[in-house]
Structure 1
Amino acid sequence: MTFCRGRFLELEKYWLLPILLGFVIGLAVFVMVCIYRILNHVSLLIVNFDPIFIFASTVIAILGGYLTVKFFADSKGCGCGTELVIERYHHKSGFVSLRDTVSKTLASAITIGFGGSAGLEGPSLLLGGGISSFITRRLGLSQKDVKALFLCGAAAGFSAIFKAPLTGILFALEIPYRRDVETEVFVPASIASVTAYFTSAMTLGTETIFSSSTLVTPTFPTLMHAISIGVLTAFVALAFMGIFEKMNALSMWLSMRIPPLLMCVFAGLMLGLIGFFHLEVLWLGYDFIHKIITTDLGRLSITTLIAVLILKILATSLTLNFGGSGGLFVPSIYVGGTLGLIYAQIMGLKPTILYVTLAMSALLAATSKSLLTSISLIAETVGPSSIILALISSSISYFLTGSRSFYKSQLTSKVDAGIPHASMDKHSF
């Protein structure tokens, strides 16, 4: 009788509860996207009325995000939501307060909606993990179960925002470590992600940010270009991470010398200056990414594309280190796609989409140390025909960048977390 009751509890926790979590998180992501869209519509109205108002919009983006966290969150740190998810997973056993979950998600919507350069995957991961943390703690589950299901909630949040359930599963399992995968929660994470995907598809539609596919037959020349892109992307990834770290250090240095509000205003004005000359580097950047993928951008000059790439790195680093909130996943895709387009134009290569997606995958793998995720995203949203080439480019970039990553809280492996690799007990999934 005790054995049967134990198995039933396992069924409830790791099979039925993830369905509930996926549904609730899918609806929560829908609400977040609606709030973002309203704020983004207001921002675009302001900017379209007079381009000079881009400065007002970007100041609101940084200052609004900072003040939301300052006054409403328990944890006062701004920045990347993904970093917070990793930190809470490793050091707080998946505990995120409801105040932090709501306020920091709202801060991200304000930041990105009004022109901050960041991605919605950061707040989606935090929203999913935070909702899971709240529900599982209210149900009185053990610390181990709360931590495991926290990762499932994060996977559901990612899946809902990108309409890519397999990518969501892999990202949540890969992101805690730089050289390891949290395989034990694969089954409940899969259930939560698929449920969140269907919920999001019913409320937001099934369209992904990549709505194009192409049939590619790997050849020796494409193999050589895939290798070249992997090497080139590794250097750009190191530059992106280096600039991001330097900007973080500058922010910490300035915060000890000038008032935080003044620093936010200054950062907002600098972000507005960037947007005044290249508006496409602000906000989410989905339109620019979509145009790159569908080759609907026109033939921009190499100089313009290089300027866009550099300014996107600067805009993202400013946004997330000077008071704004959001994610780094989408900016990584943006920078990678732009780099791929530059490479394809310089080398005169066709189809352009192949080299764009290879660079996207490679840069994402390098900056987040998520090799499987980067390949899965391309396969799931663009098409499976370029998987082998993406694997080559991503693997080269992943290993050439060593242990460098955007996320300071990432551990190298489970051994660093005190978890033996052979710890697959009867309760593992």
Structure 2
Amino acid sequence: MHKQPSSDPIDVFRSRFPYAYYLIIAVAVSFFIGSAVALFLILLDLTTVTRQAHPWLLYGLPVAGVFIWWVYHRFGKNSAAGNNLIIDEIHAPGGGVPLRMTPLVLFTTLITHLFGGSAGREGTAVQMGGSIAYRIGGWMKLDAGDMRIILMMGIAGGFGAVFGTPVAGTVFALEVLAIGKLGDLKALVPCAVAAYLSDRVCQFWGAGHTHYAIGFAGGFDGKLLGWVLLAGVAFGCASRLFSWSMHRVKDLSGKLFVATPWLMPFVGGCIIIGLVFIAGTQDYLGLGVTASHADGVSIVSAFREGGAEPFSWLWKLAFTVVTLGMGFKGGEVTPLFFIGATLGNAIALYAGVPVDLMAGLGFIAVFAGATNTPVACTLMGVELFGPENVVYFGAACLMAYYFSGHAGIYSSQRVIIPKFGWVKKDPRHP
């Protein structure tokens, strides 16, 4: 027997005009995601300025960590899984992505930054995007296939809006799901629309983005390409160290504080305070996009000679791993930008190559290695820095991707095409 066609007007419209159907969904998703990300960015700027103006807030970090633990323990349920929850729901629908994730992650990320935790903003934006998109899909009573696509729209919209890179956000939503394969290309156009419109809505509300620039435009040079490839290896190893350290700290702290989990962020906050005293600076707290003083180390300063110390990247790595690995909230990506840019600065001074170029390469390549998204990060380089050095962007990102291994920051990523012959395909993938 043949299945009777549905008489539901929405099903009829979807079958006849699929792209128009997804466009309508993307417009609705984009307005709410762009607005939420704009609110987050504006509040995050105020929070950062407040912390930098009142350094003593750092001493409240341990208590803030306990408060964040209590909030998630009391209201979070499965929201604590963060980005991995969204990726899992795309791979295997059924668990759901609660709307409570949006206010929870927004509020607790701001608390983390206010008291000096070293964290980013991408994770927060993507989680807000995913939870908002999932709720809209629920209201529209979408089936499992459309839910997957709307969740990918949420990832694209959140990423594109928070960094002002809609093209990279589009590809990131498809590429981050699995290692070695782009996601469902059916979602490409909806994700592109969601990423672009979310970014435009975010800008409409007055949320700005930091502008970075690479002045080098010397064209192709074989010797320089050689240094870029070697630097790509270093960027990949830094990505691997970050991911490995993050997973080890989470596992170890979870075992040590299994009976008193609230103590984990308290101890983590105390360790951050201790690291500040050892490093002798607060430059490695917070986002790290700009410093609170003229001689401070930041992402922006890494693009000029003398703008970073040789081991600034390692300090930021340690601060971030302790912060996020011991229960505080926020993203990993902006700290990865910091790690990459300052490592690139150090490599450039050793190799005698342009500092701004190498800082920019580290900026995108360490991120590419840690998230296993070399295509998205290459496109991010073009969107942020211009197309003149795209060959170097691609070379650095691909090398970092290869040498970062398979254990990225998202444990829910599936290995579809292994990077090495001795690594098996993920058994969760059919």
1:10 is matched with which residue?
Answer: 18
- The number of aligned residues is 405
TM-score after normalising by structure 2:
0.87
Q: How far apart in 2 are the matches of 1:9 and 1:61?
A: 50
8 Å contact kept, 1:105–1:126: no
From 268, 278, 291, the equivalent of 2:301 is 291
- The alignment status of 1:55 with 2:55, answered yes or no, reads no
Identical positions, percent: 23
Change in 2 beyond 3 A, CA 1:8/1:63:
farther
Which one-letter code corresponds to 1:201 in the other structure? Q
TM-score after normalising by structure 1:
0.87
Change in 2 beyond 3 A, CA 1:239/1:416:
closer
Bigger share in helix: 1
Secondary structure class of the residue paired with 1:22:
helix
Which one-letter code corresponds to 1:28 in the other structure? A
2:398 is matched with which residue?
Answer: 395
2:169 is matched with which residue?
Answer: 168
Shift of residue 12 of structure 1?
A: 4.7
Q: Which has the higher mean CA deviation after the structures are superposed, 32-41 or 126-135?
A: 32-41
1:140 is matched with which residue?
Answer: 141
RMSD: 2.4
Shift of residue 34 of structure 1?
A: 2.8
- The alignment status of 1:321 with 2:325, answered yes or no, reads yes
1:39 is matched with which residue?
Answer: 47
8 Å contact kept, 2:38–2:207: no
Change in 2 beyond 3 A, CA 1:90/1:5:
closer
Which one-letter code corresponds to 1:156 in the other structure? G
2:193 is matched with which residue?
Answer: 191
Query: Which consecutive unaligned segments of at least 5 residues does structure 2 have?
Result: 291-297, 418-424
Secondary structure class of the residue paired with 2:339:
helix
Which one-letter code corresponds to 1:18 in the other structure? A
Write out per-residue CA displacement over residues 59-92 of structure 1, whole angstroms, 9 at most, x where no aligned residue: 25533432322222122636xx333322332234
Shift of residue 309 of structure 1?
A: 1.7
Secondary structure class of the residue paired with 2:388:
helix
Secondary structure class of the residue paired with 2:238:
helix
8 Å contact kept, 2:166–2:192: yes
Q: How far apart in 2 are the matches of 1:105 and 1:206?
A: 18
Which one-letter code corresponds to 1:195 in the other structure? L
Which one-letter code corresponds to 1:45 in the other structure? A
8 Å contact kept, 2:125–2:158: yes
Write out per-residue CA displacement over residues 4-50 of structure 1, whole angstroms, 9 at most, x where no aligned residue: 64445634531111012111110011122233234334333331xx5
8 Å contact kept, 1:365–1:398: yes
2:350 is matched with which residue?
Answer: 346
Q: How far apart in 1 are the matches of 2:323 and 2:275?
A: 12
Larger RCO (CA under 8 A, 6+ residues apart): 1
2:231 is matched with which residue?
Answer: 229
1:265-304 pair list within 5 angstroms = 265-276=266-277, 277-287=280-290, 288-293=298-303, 295=304, 298=306, 300=308, 304=309
1:20-419 pair list within 5 angstroms = 20-47=28-55, 50=56, 53-56=57-60, 58-75=61-78, 77=80, 81-92=82-93, 95-182=96-183, 183-211=185-213, 213-257=215-259, 259-276=260-277, 277-287=280-290, 288-293=298-303, 295=304, 298=306, 300=308, 304-306=309-311, 308-349=312-353, 351-413=354-416
Change in 2 beyond 3 A, CA 1:11/1:76:
closer
